[in-house]
Amino acid sequence: MTNDGDFANQLMHPKYEVEKRYIARVKGIPSKEALRKLENGVMIEGRKTAKAKVRLQTFDKKKEKAIIEVIIHEGRNRQVRKMFDTIGHPVQKLSREAYAFLDLKGLNAGERRELTHHEVKRLKALTQFGDKK
């Protein structure tokens, strides 16, 4: 949450390539080829997604599910879910684990914390220079 809408819009704009890391539990176990499609971009609503970083973390053949880490810098509505739908592996559970250098470490579900002044400065730098970590 923020009271600076312009800054929030800058952070979300794809041109700054601010990374968002998600963990998705998907139905079935995607092939390497299917994951490669996600990495190279897939068509969603007539537009190709930007390249993504995708890593199969674990899978369970018996339960027919996989846990996959996805890093994107776009942020279209329900993008990660739609990406997996295009390869035939619908998302069963999805969580955003990190936004740029910020992650959920030390927070329980539903908790929040205020950013430090240093974190805000780093985020503002991303909108000036791109996500160079």
Residue 102: per-residue pLDDT: 93
Question: What would the pLDDT profile of 13-39 be if each residue is shown by its tens digit?
Answer: 888 888 999 999 999 999 999 999 999
In a domain, 13, yes or no: yes
The residue segments making up the domain with residue 18 are 5-103+116-125
In a domain, 109, yes or no: no
Determine the residue type at 133.
K
Is residue 68 assigned to a domain?
yes
Tell me the pLDDT of the chain averaged across its residues. 91
121 vs 8, 11, 111, 116, 117, CA distance in Å?
Answer: 13, 12, 22, 9, 6
Q: How confident is the model at residue 129 (pLDDT cuts 50, 70, 90)?
A: low
133 lies in a domain?
Answer: no
Asked whether residue 110 is domain-assigned, the answer is no
Cα 101 versus chain centre, distance: 13
Q: What is the pTM of this model?
A: 0.87
For residue 84, which of 40, 131, 50, 37 has the smallest C-alpha distance?
37
Q: What distance in Å separates the CA atoms of residue 57 and residue 123, rounded to the nearest whole number?
A: 28
Q: What is the pLDDT of residues 81-119, one digit of tens each?
A: 999 999 999 999 999 999 999 999 989 988 888 999 999
- Domain with residue 57: its CATH number is 3.30.70.1560
- The structural domain count of the chain equals 1
Q: Is residue 111 part of a domain?
A: no
Question: The tokens of 124 are what?
Answer: 């503002």
